[in-house]
Amino acid sequence: MYNFEFLRPASVADAVAALADEDAQALGGGQTLLPTMKARLASPTKLVSLSGIDGLAHVNASGGVVEIGGATTHAQVAEEAASAFPALAKLAGGIGDPAVRNRGTIGGSVANNDPAACYPSAVLGTGATVVTDRREIAADDYFVGMFETALEPGEIITAIRFPVPQAAHYAKFQQPASRFALVGVFVARFASGVRVAVTGASENGVFRWTDAEQALSADFSAGALDGLEASADGLISDLHGTGAYRANLVKVMTGRAVSAAG
């Protein structure tokens, strides 16, 4: 590690001001940023920690919506969202290991948008709203590509608002060493229809499987997927599996998620 300046502002306004410096970087739980800095893949000279900002770590449920503050840890989501949104709590409880879950934050994960991260599938799968210090961004407009989002420089995620589905489940086929998703599928059924979001599979990051959404909106059962095949175009091929292998996993994990969601 190299020398850098560390700031811990007490308010969102102070954090935004600190991030105005060209070489400043926001720090959530540090589960991605700090290893990246150690490997010299990133070298900000100023880290602006968001963990000391009052009100950024919370789980509030009201009117069919669960709002989670940007600095809320995975462990806190797993515990405090369990009654209001069990599928989201289960997703959070399966991220990494206890050390990661007690340091990593939902805002940091969604801002980083790792193509194999779990939370993006829940955000996109529920049609959640990403709330920042300056605006609200619909999930369908937020995710741009691998490690890319609609966030502007210095913009901070203050909360994410999840509409609670009638039924939902997250099915994850994980890489056993890292516990990242080789393929993870979040299925959510609403009165208006079904949303299916896939993480871990695509070179472009999280995406919706619209063919499955149409089939499941008509018949919310694993059997509705019979005859459907996820396209392997643009899916990741690496030492863990080919694009065709991941395409098959997309269908398999979608079926498991539907069956578990009931």
Nearest Cα to Cα of residue 111 among 95, 132, 127, 81: 132
Was domain 5-49 assigned CATH 3.10.50.40? no
Write out the CATH class of domain 59-163: alpha beta
The C-alpha atoms of residue 221 and residue 28 are separated, in whole angstroms, by: 38
Percent over 70 (pLDDT), the chain? 100
Average pLDDT of the residues in 238-262: 96
Was domain 167-261 assigned CATH 3.30.390.50? yes
Residue 33: what pLDDT? 79
pLDDT band at 45 (very low <50, low <70, confident <90, very high): confident
Task: Please tell me the pTM assigned to this model.
Answer: 0.94
The C-alpha atoms of residue 164 and residue 188 are separated, in whole angstroms, by: 9
**pLDDT, tens digit, 9 for 90 and up, residues 167-193:** 999 999 998 888 889 999 999 999 999
pLDDT band at 42 (very low <50, low <70, confident <90, very high): confident
Q: What are phi and psi of 148, to 5 degrees?
A: -120, 135
Residue 36: what pLDDT? 81
Domain extents for the chain? 5-49, 59-163, 167-261
**pLDDT, tens digit, 9 for 90 and up, residues 197-233:** 999 999 999 999 999 999 999 999 999 999 999 999 9
Integer angstrom CA distances of residue 179 from 9, 97, 236: 32, 8, 17
Residue 63 near residue 193, CB atoms below 8 Å: no
Residue 183 near residue 165, CB atoms below 8 Å: no
The C-alpha atoms of residue 141 and residue 135 are separated, in whole angstroms, by: 13
The yes-or-no verdict on residue 12 having pLDDT over 90 is yes
Residue 193: what pLDDT? 98
The yes-or-no verdict on residue 162 having pLDDT over 90 is yes
Average pLDDT of the residues in 100-124: 95
The C-alpha atoms of residue 114 and residue 199 are separated, in whole angstroms, by: 9
**pLDDT, tens digit, 9 for 90 and up, residues 47-71:** 888 988 989 999 999 999 999 999 9
pLDDT band at 1 (very low <50, low <70, confident <90, very high): low
The yes-or-no verdict on residue 24 having pLDDT over 90 is no
Q: Which amino acid is at 8?
A: R
